[in-house]
Structure 1
Amino acid sequence: MSILKASRADARPVWMERPGPLVQAGKAVAIAAIVVVMLYPFFYVILMSFASPEAATSGTFWPSSFSIQAYVSILTGGVVTRALLVSAGVTLVGTVLSMAFTTTLAYGLTRTKDVPFAKPILVMVLCTMLFGAGIIPNYLLVRQLGLLDSYWSLILPGLISAFNMIVVRNFFMGLPSELIEAAKLDGASEFQIFIRIVLPLSKAVLAVIALFYAVGYWNSFFNAMIYLNDAAKWPIQLVLNQYVVQGSTLSSVQPPGVPAPPGETIQKAVIVISTIPILLVYPFAQKYFTKGMLTGAVKG
């Protein structure tokens, strides 16, 4: 009886046992189905963006003939190319400024003994995660600051994310305090410690947070829709909204004598162009996700 009890105590839980062939086959089928469901819209959009005008209206998944007329139309019209440059500039400048302000604020809030009112400031930052002013007060503030119809209205309202700042702060607090104390004994200032010790040791979390900011700036269109009246300053996502949601056409930018591509082909081509930059950047930062987020989110 005692041997039976010991064997039951040493037995592994059911969920830790190796599944049988049927269970593994079921998991493989389920994963394959999920992959197909996730990839189908992606491939459909790409195929339809290259479809010829005749194939685009046939209603088939695989077009019988292909053409780059949609890409030529949107890239030669000037609207999409200008919007791409606007989005690229806003994303680059916004990400750099957000990272600079987020990291400096996070490091300052780790020095609770040296920075006055560090804890009340931290509480104030945390309150912004729970309470928001709303659209109308934000619009009135942006207008009062003279930022309407300015690119800064796309950057400054979301310059610091409280969640990202907390993740970076927790990562900084997990760094060895002995390194900072040794640097202070060697006469290093707080700025030197921050630049030469803290930031180089935080590449993983900084890469993740930088990608979060970049994706946020690139995909943002609501602020542009509210604060920008000049269509020449629209980012790519607002142009995408006009083509896909509003159903705008490119007939006004077509060369004389050349028919405009179908609206569905134009929509798919704009979606592909607006998605490619993020798809190119994401693989380079993917390896930092697990290390950066787990270390920054869990202290100890």
Structure 2
Amino acid sequence: MFRIFPSVPITWRSPSCVQFGVDDPVLIDGLLPADVALVGELQMGVGSAQYYSRAQDLGADLGRASSLITLLGEAGVMVPDDSDAVKMTKSSPLLATAQIFTLSPDRVSRLLGDSPILVVGPLRAITEQYLSASGFAIAEQHRVEDLDLLSSPLVITTSYLVPDIHTATWLTDREVPHCQVVIGEYSLEVTGLIQPGATPCAICDCLRKKDADDSWLDQYPQIRALPDRESLSDPLSRALGALNVVQILRRSLLRPDTAPVHRNVSLATGIGTDETLAFHPRCQCRASVPHFDLVHEQAQ
């Protein structure tokens, strides 16, 4: 199946010059009337055999018709040929996501929908709205203790002022991947995707905070107990926190080779800065790599 991503804006600069995209436009000039007709076929979606048959009917050179497919593929505007995008409606948000990440829409659908996402904490409702709109599957459970760990769930923890250490520790102990959102007074922090045993954990960052302030852990329970934090926090903080964590989680799943980040977002400007997660030397979260070179080591 040959098909141009429906999310690609297409305009004509002249009867023989077409523009694909706006942010970084791709121009193809010198099109003949038969080429123009083939572009229309590709917008609708056409099987490969039908495409070349249609080219012959239009009197187009088959080599030229093949070159058009090659040009559009190199421009990144064609749906990958292993995709079932024809089954998706033109309004499906996954088509635009697939175009951004250069993946087939059905692969995007699988990667985002295979693992149910549980959101805990005060940002649950608004975060679930962004997750649903982005194509994620939402877990039926509302508590981490009720999760079916065999379903490969992912969790997003949300809190005010300080991280939810209790939930993060519970998830790390059970090797459940998770992200973390903390809404502060002047900024918010998003951490993810934490893969227990493979990436730095939430406690690594807590230990760094303790290094900077020796009484941080002593103050932690008092800060967690402060009332009315939702009404006392910046009204845009919840939307910013939800949006950023969903964006980070989406990128982590669609580009798994991307290193997990710690993002700090200013509530005044909305500008975020990313730092790569780093292990803390005193944290025990790093999984040791076993070496079974000797029999007695295997026994140990």
TM-score range, shorter chain: under 0.3
Which of these two proteins has the greater Rg computed from alpha carbons? 1
Relative contact order (alpha carbons < 8 A, sep ≥ 6): 1 or 2 greater? 1
**Of Structure 1 and Structure 2, which has the larger fraction of its residues in helix?**
1
